[in-house]
Chain A
Amino acid sequence: MEVKQKFPVLCPSCEEKLKVKTLQCDSCNTSVNGHFEMALLCSLNIEEQDFIIHFVKQSGSLKEMSKHLNLSYPSVRNILDDIIEKIKNIQTLKEL
């Protein structure tokens, strides 16, 4: 059975935000080392990223999203509003 690995966003030791140090090509094994910032979307958890992907695929329609997720309209709107709030907080932290 394949285990789905969870992409780590925070350091398990001190809970600071992690940065990307190495990127690797699976085809030729070339590694690129550096000090890369993670994309904003990577700061969200897997469920939130999935929600955003589905939301874009449904052309940003909350009604379609509520059908897709089998949730009520206000529940979907609340999830979206919570993600918006989280993104705003991340952006504010980045600007500081």
Chain B
Amino acid sequence: MQNFIFNPFHRIAGLKALGLGFLIIVITALFAFLFNTHFPGLLDIKYGYKETYGFLNFLSYGIVNLMSMSVFIYLAGLLLSKSSVRFIDVIGTQTLARAPLLLAPFLNTSGLIEKGGAYLLFKYLEHGHPTSLSRVEFILFIFFTLLMILLIAWMITLMYNAYKVSCNVKGSKAVVSFIIIIFLVEILTLYLNHLAQLFLLNL
């Protein structure tokens, strides 16, 4: 069971993983649209943007993040692996690795993360509007934030295992190259998502 939660790719990869993963990305975009949840970078979850976004904006996050990561993983596989790496395995496993984000929109259904973020921003950086939080709200805010971090950690673990299985890269070579990829793709996706959102908002 533990193996299936953190590394389902021994059993599922390629087209099957791509189909299932893409369905999850579409459903994630739908929930993100309903609960105003944004994924502006590979590992970023943000709540409560003021602008009005359409469903396509939310779907574009998933596609931009997925495609950027898959291309970088594929290139790393071609460079570092002795096996013949197939792009369908890379994109399939990486698509499925994004499944934990399906739960992200539900963490903000009460609006607590958004409120807690505004509270911390005003308290420590004197930015935004004064916001007050009760003790219970603060505890729940910490709890939901920790859950959010766990979701991201789960997704990173899945992405790493997807990389190892789809490209047959092991040991320190796998760890170091994956850290570099995550760092580069995070920067790239912040930029690409910004451009994609500007484009879609002006449609």
A interface with B by C-beta (< 8 Å): 70-75, 77-78, 81, 85
Q: Does A75 lie within 8 Å of B13, measured CB to CB?
A: yes
Q: Does B117 contact A (CB under 8 A)?
A: no
**Per-residue contact bits, chain B 75-108, to A (CB 8 Å; 1 contact, 0 not):** 0000000111010010001000000000000000
Stretch at the interface among B4-12, B32-40, B48-56: B4-12
A70 to B16, alpha carbons, bound, how many Å? 13
CB distance from A62 to the nearest CB of B (A): 10
Q: Which residues of B contact A75 (CB under 8 A)?
A: 9-11, 13, 165
Chain B residues near A78 (CB-CB < 8 A) = 83, 165, 168
Whole-angstrom distance between the Cβ of B6 and the nearest chain A Cβ: 15
Contact check, A72 vs B168: say whether CB atoms are below 8 A apart.
no
- A81-B85 Cα distance, complex, nearest whole Å: 12
Please list 14 pairs of residues, one from A and one from B, whose beta carbons are closer than 8 Å in the complex, sorted by A's number. A71-B10, A71-B11, A72-B9, A72-B11, A72-B17, A73-B13, A74-B13, A74-B168, A77-B83, A78-B83, A78-B165, A81-B83, A81-B168, A85-B82
Interface contact A77-B14, CB-CB below 8 Å: no
Interface residues of B (CB under 8 A from A): 9-14, 17, 82-84, 86, 89, 93, 165-166, 168
Q: Which residues from chain B contact A85 at a C-beta distance below 8 Å?
A: 82
**Does A74 lie within 8 Å of B166, measured CB to CB?**
yes
Please name all residues of chain B whose beta carbon is closer than 8 Å to the beta carbon of A81 when the two chains form the complex. Answer: 82-83, 168
Q: With a CB–CB cut-off of 8 A, which chain A residues contact B12?
A: 72
Find the residue from B10, B17, B89, B93 having the highest chain A CB count within 10 A: B10
Q: Contact check, A74 vs B11: say whether CB atoms are below 8 A apart.
A: no
Q: Give, as a whole number of angstroms, the nearest-CB distance from B151 to chain A.
A: 24
What chain A residues lie within 8 Å of B13 (beta carbons)?
Answer: 72-75
For A70, the closest partner residue in chain B by CB is B11
Besides the known contacts A74-B165, A78-B83, 16 further A-B residue pairs in the complex with CB atoms under 8 A apart: A72-B9, A72-B11, A72-B13, A72-B14, A72-B17, A72-B89, A72-B165, A74-B13, A74-B89, A74-B166, A74-B168, A75-B9, A77-B83, A78-B165, A81-B82, A81-B168
Q: Are B10 and A72 in contact (CB under 8 A)?
A: yes
Complexed CA–CA distance, A73 and B90 (Å): 12
- Is the beta-carbon distance between A77 and B9 smaller than 8 angstroms? no
